[in-house]
Structures are given as structure tokens and as C-alpha cells.
């Protein structure tokens, strides 16, 4: 989500009045139940409220993210060469993924077994990505570990994810051409991140100055903590949520725990929903979860909406609806208005 400012000046040369109209950019996915994107939607198909107030929709743009969707949309790839990776233009062609692997430091059986089971399907997951897609890899056990900077080398990504199953230290990855995370991370801060929520704050801050939407693939066992039979999302999660929102990061939570139900899956579901992603279990039908992932991330809509005039600074609920039966809508559920 990103705030845009449009400034309109009167035509009067003697007296110029500046009118500031704030607009909010929302990354929204509209899919069928199996993750297949719903195409052809216009601003008349959507409705948006910010803080309980209707937000007029200025424009709706479909952004195809895979070669197949670009063909359907009639986008000629050869006419859109990838920009040079420089400081002034850090974005090459292709999507950006961050793989965040939770490795259980206590080596609980259901967590370790589920992780090993899902990792048999890593090749299928990576083979479904585009040639120009780039991935970075982090792991978390007792603290946050940075294992691989953004790369299009899928085989190297696979080896790194498998290595993340161990709880040993990893060498600091070399910096790569932009987009790069190495120069945006501090090793001492990562050592002090003793919860997944604190780790997500660090990752989100590192991604914040890299333009465009990103997807965080959370391969893990849970968020929050259990207290009196309830899962509590603490204050660190609230901060992580705001940071990820500002960085335009969507969480896809793939629950690798080998169990039909476990308490901390509630935290995974919430994080995915809050950031406009989805949650899926992988212990029974991992291939179906991967297929949904591939379909869902093949394209999204960018909605530019006008900020309601009566909205006050603060955090406000975002509700996005579409006039389509059985549609699955994924969008950030909050918006931070800074006035």
C-alpha cells in the first residue's frame, strides 16, 4: 500500500491555490477458490472503505505477473526490456520473493517431520516461478539469519532452503546488484531478533526502500504465543504488520507443521490475511497448496482510491469487496493515515 499526492493548481495566474488530494494505492488479488485470477474487473466491480467510510475508486489496473498472464493481457515482453540494476533504477524485470523459513530450535517432532515432508516439494514450487523472478532466503530459529540475497538461481535457492533446516550459523551472503538486501541489514540487530515477529520487522524494514510489491513465503509453524488457551499476537506483531504494509509485502503462509490443527496456525492465518495473502496447510496435499500459490501470484490489481476527507490520522480498517459470487479477495486489512 502506498500513499500518492496529487496537486492541482488553479488557472488564475495572480492567485494560486493548492489543493492536495490524497490517494491510496492498494495491491488486491481477486481469485477463484483454486487461486485462478479473475480477469476483466473494472472499478465498477470493486468497492472500498477506509475506516468505515466509502473511498471513491479512481482507477483499477490489472498487473500480469507471469508470462502466461502477459500473453493473455496482450503485453509484448520483448517491448519491455529489463532496466539496468543501478541505484537510480533498482528494479529488474520479474517478481521479488523472500523465503522465510522457521526452523524449530526445540526440534519438535511434528514441526521437523512436516518441514522435511514439505521440502520434498521444493522443486515443484521453484519450477513454477518465472526465469526473471528473484528470491532471497532468511531463516529463524533462536534468532534471524540471512542466508541468501536476491538471485534468480533456483537451484541455489533450493540448496539454501534445505540448509535452513539446520540451526547452525550461516556465512553472510555477498551483496548483489540491486535489488539487494545485504547492505540494508545489520548482523547485530538480527542476533537480537529472538522472535519471528521481531525478525519480520527487520526483514520488512530492509525491503521498504525497494519499490514495488513483494511476496514473503513463510514456511513455518506459527506466530504469536499461547496464553490461557488463546493465541495472543503481541505488540511486536503490530509493528511488523505496519512495516510490512509500508514495504508492500504480502505474506503467503505455508504451514509445514505435520498436524491437522495446532494452536499457532491462528497467527499464521492472521498474518496472511492482514497483508493480503493466504494461508495453506501442507502436511496432506502440499502439491495443491503450491498450485494455488502459483495461480494466485500470477497477477494482481492495483486500485487507486481517494482518501475520504473525514478520515483522521491513525490506523484504519480497509475493506475491499467485489461484485462477484464466490470470489476470494486478498488485500491489506489496514491503512496507516499520517494526516
Mean pLDDT, 10 residues at a time, the chain of 339 residues: 41 43 90 95 96 96 94 68 47 88 83 91 94 96 95 96 83 88 95 96 97 96 91 95 96 95 95 97 94 96 94 93 94 88
Helix or strand or coil: residue 97? strand
C-alpha cell at 89: 533504477
Q: Which residues pair with 240 in a beta bridge?
A: none
Output the CA angle 27-245-306, nearest 5 degrees.
Answer: 55
Query: pTM to 2 decimals?
Result: 0.88
pLDDT at 77: 53
pLDDT at 83: 47
List the helix and strand counts (H, then E) for the chain: 9, 17
pLDDT at 91: 59
CA atoms within 13 A on the CB side of 220: 33
Cα 134 from Cα 93, distance rounded (Å): 9
> CA dihedral in degrees (268, 269, 273, 279; nearest 10)?
90
Give me the helices (H) in the chain, please.
67-73, 109-118, 122-127, 154-163, 187-192, 196-207, 235-246, 265-274, 286-296
Output the CA angle 122-241-182, nearest 5 degrees.
Answer: 60
Burial of 299 (0-12, 13-18, 19+ CB in 10 A): buried
pLDDT at 81: 46
pLDDT at 19: 44
pLDDT at 104: 81
pLDDT at 84: 45
Cα 100 from Cα 195, distance rounded (Å): 13
Give Cα 79 to chain centroid, integer Å: 28
Amino acid at each position: 500500500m502506498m500513499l500518492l499526492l496529487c496537486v492541482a493548481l488553479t488557472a488564475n495566474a495572480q492567485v494560486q491555490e493548492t489543493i492536495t488530494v490524497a490517494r491510496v494505492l492498494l495491491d488486491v488479488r481477486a481469485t477463484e477458490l483454486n487461486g485462478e485470477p479473475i480477469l476483466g474487473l473494472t472499478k465498477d466491480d470493486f468497492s472500498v472503505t477506509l475506516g468505515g467510510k466509502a473511498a471513491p475508486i479512481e482507477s483499477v489496473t490489472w498487473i500480469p505477473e507471469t508470462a502466461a498472464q502477459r500473453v493473455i493481457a496482450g503485453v509484448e515482453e520483448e517491448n519491455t526490456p529489463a532496466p539496468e540494476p543501478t541505484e537510480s533504477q533498482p528494479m529488474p524485470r520479474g517478481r521479488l520473493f523472500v523465503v522465510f523459513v522457521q526452523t524449530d530450535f526445540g526440534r519438535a517432532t511434528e514441526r521437523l517431520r512436516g518441514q522435511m515432508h514439505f521440502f520434498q516439494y521444493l522443486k515443484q514450487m521453484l519450477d513454477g516461478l518465472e526465469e526473471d523472478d528473484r528470491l532471497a532466503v532468511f531463516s529463524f530459529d533462536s534468532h534471524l539469519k540471512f542466508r541468501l540475497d536476491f538471485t534468480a538461481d533456483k537451484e541455489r535457492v533450493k540448496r539454501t532452503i534445505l540448509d535452513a533446516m539446520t540451526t547452525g550459523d550461516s556465512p553472510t551472503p555477498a551483496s548483489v546488484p540491486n535489488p539487494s538486501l545485504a547492505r540494508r541489514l545489520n548482523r547485530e540487530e538480527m542476533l537480537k531478533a529472538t522472535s519471528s515477529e521481531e525478525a519480520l520487522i527487520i526483514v520488512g524494514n530492509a525491503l521498504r526502500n525497494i519499490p514495488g510489491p513483494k511476496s514473503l513465503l513463510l514456511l513455518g509453524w506459527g506466530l504469536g504465543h499461547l496464553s490461557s488457551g488463546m493465541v495472543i499476537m503481541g505488540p511486536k506483531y503490530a509493528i511488523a504488520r505496519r512495516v510490512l504494509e509500508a514495504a508492500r509485502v504480502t505474506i503467503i503462509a505455508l504451514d509445514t507443521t505435520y498436524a491437522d490443527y495446532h494452536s499457532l496456525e491462528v497467527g499464521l492465518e492472521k498474518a496472511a490475511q492482514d497483508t493480503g495473502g493466504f494461508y495453506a496447510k501442507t502436511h496432506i496435499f502440499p502439491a495443491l497448496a503450491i498450485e494455488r500459490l502459483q495461480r494466485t501470484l500470477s497477477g494482481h490489481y492495483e486500485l487507486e482510491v481517494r482518501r475520504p476527507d473525514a478520515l483522521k490520522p491513525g490506523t484504519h480498517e480497509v475493506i475491499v469487496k467485489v461484485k462477484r459470487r464466490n470470489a476470494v479477495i486478498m488485500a491489506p486489512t489496514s491503512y496507516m493515515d499520517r494526516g
